[in-house]
Structure 1
Amino acid sequence: MHFNHVIYKTLWALTSLLLFTSGASAMEKEIYLPGTGEIYKVEVVPRQPASVIYYGGDILTMDGDVPSYAEAVVTQGKKIVFVGDKKAAIKKFGSNARLIDLKGNTMLPGFLDPHSHFMSAVRMVNQVNVAAPPVGTATSIPQIIEKLKAFQEEKHIAEDGWIIGWGYDQDLIEEKRHITKKDLDAAFPKRKVMLIHVSMHGAVLNSQALKWAGIDANTKTPAGGVIARMPGSNEPAGLLMEMAYIPVFAKLPQPSEEEMLDLTKPAQMMYASNGYTQAIEGFSHAEDLDFLMKAAAQERLFLDILALPGFTEMDKWFGNPKYKFGEYHNHLKLQACKITIDGSPQGKTALVSHPYHGGGPAGQKDWKGESSITQAQLDAITRKMFDANIPLHVHANGDGAIDMMIKTIEAAGISAKDDRRTVIVHSQFQRPEHLPKYVELGLTPSYFTLHTFYWGDVHVKNIGKEAAFFISPMKAAKAAGLVMSNHTDFNVTPLDPFWVIWSAMARESRSGQIIGPDQRVDAYTALQALTTGPAWQVFEEDRKGKIREGMLADFVVIKNNPVKQKVSEIKDNEVLATVKEGKVIYKKIGI
């Protein structure tokens, strides 16, 4: 033992000599900080864990109610171990550290997706973009049909195959009407065609697809659903919405499991390239849950994926020990039950208290939208989930749907002190009196301010200026003391976080109209809705969403600091790198 000890001391001394810079003391070495010209003498600590030190840019910690910055951040493995003064960071950790100069760029905690549809990202590879600008280039029915034809040829789709388009929006094409099966049948008499509505709450099908779905003139419109009919008949026109659409979408043929598993990486990279370190799968069918669990078991997930099992398949997952809520397994967590009360405002299927201007999506008179479920059903599901201690994420767009949820929570005897953090997804057409109810009952909104750009003009036309101008009222919600988030609902709108931030600050429509000027917020509030707000909503405020010692080393490096930018410049910002638990998962710069 004595001989070995002598050898160890000799080897350590020799190694130290190689490390030490000429002129440094016996247990010190000099660290040159690239990009600064600064040289630091640091103590060599034997067997100190490898560290990474970030410095040289605005490090916006998001820790607090006002912007706060750190000179340096140090990580070891998956965690943050130091936030503060650069000199102190180098002195304490510099002897065994990799130094990363941010080169004047800005670092924040990784963006957290509050609500999207991750499985849509997986499936989009086999679908064609038929959206209008700026998401796509289609502005008329003939252009959409040409895109479908080109996709058919590119993918060599067989005569009995499917052609599926995404992003279809009748309000943004020249004809200003829904496409019908007749429009599609002329170009595609044999293949099955489906155009998924931009709201993801419906689709237009051609005759072959309707036949496959078993929908004809004798098919009754289901409760909470819409089947548009040809004028003067019961013949389906092609448009299906809500509860008429959901079962059709659920049984669409899927790629093989192996193909789907291979697509999880590019799907995650869609999020990572936009700075997200967390993605939400916003309405998970049982087969989606099984797929994601297999992907996790095979260690294919490198983002945190939070799945929301859908209320329509509770018989498959509720009470089943296979599906455990609130626990991460290789980056996958079942977070909450997803209930969908109503539809979409741009599809005129959101449940509102006053009739839509111009009637319903199928020409209905005095149309207020419909709920997907009854009040009694909503009450029962809510109580069932609360009794099982399963959180709820509830889709409610219209003020009528929000009224239903408030009534349900009151009936359940739940209040803010119970800390259930029930997320009301979208919360679009809130009325001002809803906000104190959210505070009282512990409801937390996940807003969708991108609607002010994409459909703000449509909402003013369809629902009136007063309701449209109070859509996603972030400023009023903050004043009421609510914790909130702000999302893209991808693939309803693109994942670009800077457009989310810009829309919360500008609230500018396609035409340039300001949709609710009194609800514009500052950049820091907009950033909170992509960081600290989403973390709190999923009970992870002590794990992510801030740059703080002990939390995950999840970061995004961006070109400019939104807090210091002009509002008009924010949507042109750029993600340069994304770091998840200390590993660079996306980069445009060499870090």
Structure 2
Amino acid sequence: MGDIMGQTFSPGTVAEVIYQGGDIITMNCAAPTAEALAVKDGRILAVGSKEEVLKTRGNTTRIVDLGGKALLPGFLDAHSHFNNALQIVGWANVSPPPVGPVTDIPGLIATVKAHADRMKPEKGEWIIAYGYDANELHEKRDVTINDLDPVFPDNPVMLIHVSNHGAVLNSAGLAKADVTEKTETPAGGIIARLPGSNRPAGLLMETAFLPIFADMPQPAEEEKFASFKQAQLEYARNGYTTIQEGATNYADFVTIRKAAEKNLLFLDLVVLPMVTDLRQFSGENLDPAYRHRLKLGGVKLFGDGSPQGKTAYWSKPLLTRGPGGELAWCGEPTFPYETFAKMVAAVYATGARIYCHCNGDGAIDNLIKAFDEIGVKADQDRRDVVVHSQFVRDDQLDRYVEIGLTPSFFTNHVFFWGDIHVQNTGEERASFISPMAASKARGIRFSNHTDFSVTPLDPFMTIWTAITRQTRSGRVLGPDQCVDVLTALRALTLDAAWQYREEKTKGSLEACKLADLVIIDKNPLKVKPDDVRNLKVVETIKEGRSVYRREEQ
């Protein structure tokens, strides 16, 4: 019998593939590097020294020379919106650089018009764009109906806010959504008004947008099925082997389940049902094993909105006015506390894990209070996830330890909106955003994510923002919260797997685990910090099968 990293294998077992000739980063603390790795039947057969691993070689074994490239565990997407990947191909990209081309309002209008000219929508058909961010427009203001209506008089237009928590609509869009000057602003929502009037200006956020979002035009089911391969390829080209649909209504889940039963999934997909649809999901097992590569991982709750949209819920006022011009603005919770606490208790009663969207510390206070009322403690090992957890306070991290909460951070925010956060919240609060170092010091395990399509799926951008915390302007925001590359990698591999309760099968390169692998052009542990964001995925392998291979450049 041979022994490799504590695992045994039969001398008669023959590997299908052996990888060697590069840097193998295992993410296994007991043996962080290896010289070779063998795969059989979709699992890792052996990993360790070249001499030991080659004992699994047979006449049919394929030997892959990595050529100096790096082999790592496949990345786990801790939070994104797979449904957006299914639809985004039919939308205009109005994101600012480096994601899109838009820097001012005329450029935005031109981009949407060029898209409409290509798509040729029928009169009355929606024209949809994504990535809208007024913070990065030259004019430093929101687009209004006065900008959109002259160019788009016959079609409803929706510019989806970069946070996915709102949109700007033209007059035709507002009419289709039945939002008028008589429409009252709902609790937890924003309806921007034209100056000196009650007429909607176009911007709708949070609870004012949710009904419209739920009623958004959807491709036909067969069209969605046709998009599943390309949507998954967007993840696979970025090295992900496990992906997430992070806020799913029941109708979309039914479509996804049908696609899974048609064997259209080649990556593992974790779906998070929305708490508002909890009754419809009551007949489903909310934390099962994968079936046809699909599983329900828990239930998604919302504590607040987005910090860049000023709809997060903070315990102290912002230094700037609110999205509707409000003074001493702290934002608002998505739901009144009593309603929110009942939601938390209802999900807890099902035994399902909770994934709660909380950006501001006020929203996190509400979540902690709700858990305290139930009596949740860390020794229950529930691994409830605080999604984003951006403006968490230092004292709240101590409560995470006591309750057993695990954050999924969003360090890309530091680059994309860090400078904006300094303006809105001040240096001290902004510098503690996504505090990885403080969490690590407390022994808190955490993941990191892109929240696609809020930011690109690029994992190396996510690693780079975690290790450098550079903003768009080049400043380092909260240098004491920078982490090393290995910690940033764990947040996309082993610790992300732990959050999913899949650490026994994913997240590190160890014998008997799934052969979910990614080959990278260079070793991220050996390049300069600023070069990490330029790394490229060469190949992505799901359970021993190549699902993406980069074409030679």
Query: After TM superposition, is the score higher than 0.5?
Result: yes
State the secondary structure of the residue aligned to 2:279: helix
CA distance in 2, matches of 1:173, 1:437: 39
* Structure-2 residue corresponding to 1:112: 76
Which of the pair has more CA radius of gyration?
1
Task: Establish whether residue 218 from structure 1 lines up as the match of residue 182 from structure 2.
Answer: yes
* Structure-2 residue corresponding to 1:172: 136
CA distance in 2, matches of 1:187, 1:529: 45
- Residues 490 and 81 of structure 1: is their aligned pair in 2 closer, same or farther, counting only changes over 3 Å? same
User: Which amino acid in 2 is paired with 1:320?
Assistant: G
CA distance in 2, matches of 1:411, 1:96: 60
- Residues 344 and 44 of structure 1: is their aligned pair in 2 closer, same or farther, counting only changes over 3 Å? closer
CA distance in 2, matches of 1:448, 1:251: 28
- 1:465-504 aligned within 5 A: 465-504=427-466
* Structure-2 residue corresponding to 1:381: 343
* Structure-2 residue corresponding to 1:155: 119
* Structure-2 residue corresponding to 1:422: 384
- 1:86-485 aligned within 5 A: 86-317=50-281, 319-321=282-284, 324-485=286-447
* Structure-2 residue corresponding to 1:16: none
- 1:562-581 aligned within 5 A: 562-581=524-543
CA distance in 1, matches of 2:320, 2:350: 43
User: Which amino acid in 1 is paired with 2:188?
Assistant: G
Following superposition, the deviation at residue 589 of structure 1 comes to 6.4
State the secondary structure of the residue aligned to 2:355: strand
Task: Establish whether residue 545 from structure 1 lines up as the match of residue 507 from structure 2.
Answer: yes
Task: Establish whether residue 51 from structure 1 lines up as the match of residue 13 from structure 2.
Answer: no
Q: State whether residues 577 and 589 of structure 1, in contact with CA within 8 Å, keep that contact through their aligned partners in structure 2.
A: no
- Residues 579 and 281 of structure 1: is their aligned pair in 2 closer, same or farther, counting only changes over 3 Å? same
Q: CA RMSD in A?
A: 1.4
Following superposition, the deviation at residue 95 of structure 1 comes to 3.6
CA distance in 2, matches of 1:51, 1:298: 28
- 1:20-59 aligned within 5 A: 51-59=16-24
Following superposition, the deviation at residue 44 of structure 1 comes to 10
State the secondary structure of the residue aligned to 1:71: strand
With 365-374 and 169-178 compared, the bigger mean Cα shift is at 365-374
CA distance in 1, matches of 2:303, 2:336: 9
Q: State whether residues 15 and 56 of structure 2, in contact with CA within 8 Å, keep that contact through their aligned partners in structure 1.
A: no
Give per-residue Cα distances to partners, 1:201-240, cap 9 Å, x unaligned: 1000000011011110111111111111111221111100
Q: State whether residues 553 and 579 of structure 1, in contact with CA within 8 Å, keep that contact through their aligned partners in structure 2.
A: yes
Give per-residue Cα distances to partners, 1:308-330, cap 9 Å, x unaligned: 0011222322x224x55323111
Segments of structure 1 that go 5 or more residues without pairing to the other structure are 1-42
State the secondary structure of the residue aligned to 1:564: coil
Following superposition, the deviation at residue 307 of structure 1 comes to 0.5
Task: Establish whether residue 64 from structure 1 lines up as the match of residue 29 from structure 2.
Answer: yes
Q: State whether residues 315 and 330 of structure 2, in contact with CA within 8 Å, keep that contact through their aligned partners in structure 1.
A: yes
CA distance in 2, matches of 1:509, 1:589: 32
Q: State whether residues 117 and 280 of structure 1, in contact with CA within 8 Å, keep that contact through their aligned partners in structure 2.
A: yes
Following superposition, the deviation at residue 430 of structure 1 comes to 1.1
- 1:71-90 aligned within 5 A: 71-90=35-54
With 374-383 and 549-558 compared, the bigger mean Cα shift is at 374-383
Following superposition, the deviation at residue 86 of structure 1 comes to 1.1
CA distance in 1, matches of 2:446, 2:203: 34
CA distance in 2, matches of 1:223, 1:173: 28
Q: State whether residues 116 and 280 of structure 1, in contact with CA within 8 Å, keep that contact through their aligned partners in structure 2.
A: yes
Q: State whether residues 501 and 523 of structure 1, in contact with CA within 8 Å, keep that contact through their aligned partners in structure 2.
A: yes
Following superposition, the deviation at residue 342 of structure 1 comes to 0.2
Q: State whether residues 286 and 352 of structure 2, in contact with CA within 8 Å, keep that contact through their aligned partners in structure 1.
A: no
* Structure-2 residue corresponding to 1:22: none
CA distance in 2, matches of 1:383, 1:164: 37
Give per-residue Cα distances to partners, 1:29-64, cap 9 Å, x unaligned: xxxxxxxxxxxxxx995xx55521111100000012
Give per-residue Cα distances to partners, 1:151-182, cap 9 Å, x unaligned: 11111111211110100000101000000111
With 378-387 and 135-144 compared, the bigger mean Cα shift is at 378-387
CA distance in 2, matches of 1:521, 1:69: 20
* Structure-2 residue corresponding to 1:26: none
User: Which amino acid in 1 is paired with 2:394?
Assistant: P
State the secondary structure of the residue aligned to 2:534: coil
CA distance in 2, matches of 1:180, 1:174: 15
Segments of structure 2 that go 5 or more residues without pairing to the other structure are 1-9
State the secondary structure of the residue aligned to 1:328: coil
* Structure-2 residue corresponding to 1:506: 468
State the secondary structure of the residue aligned to 1:571: helix
State the secondary structure of the residue aligned to 2:465: helix
With 574-583 and 229-238 compared, the bigger mean Cα shift is at 229-238
User: Which amino acid in 2 is paired with 1:405?
Assistant: L
* Structure-1 residue corresponding to 2:518: 556
* Structure-1 residue corresponding to 2:3: none
Q: State whether residues 423 and 446 of structure 1, in contact with CA within 8 Å, keep that contact through their aligned partners in structure 2.
A: yes
Percent identity over paired residues? 48
CA distance in 1, matches of 2:38, 2:148: 58
Q: State whether residues 449 and 462 of structure 2, in contact with CA within 8 Å, keep that contact through their aligned partners in structure 1.
A: yes
User: Which amino acid in 1 is paired with 2:27?
Assistant: M
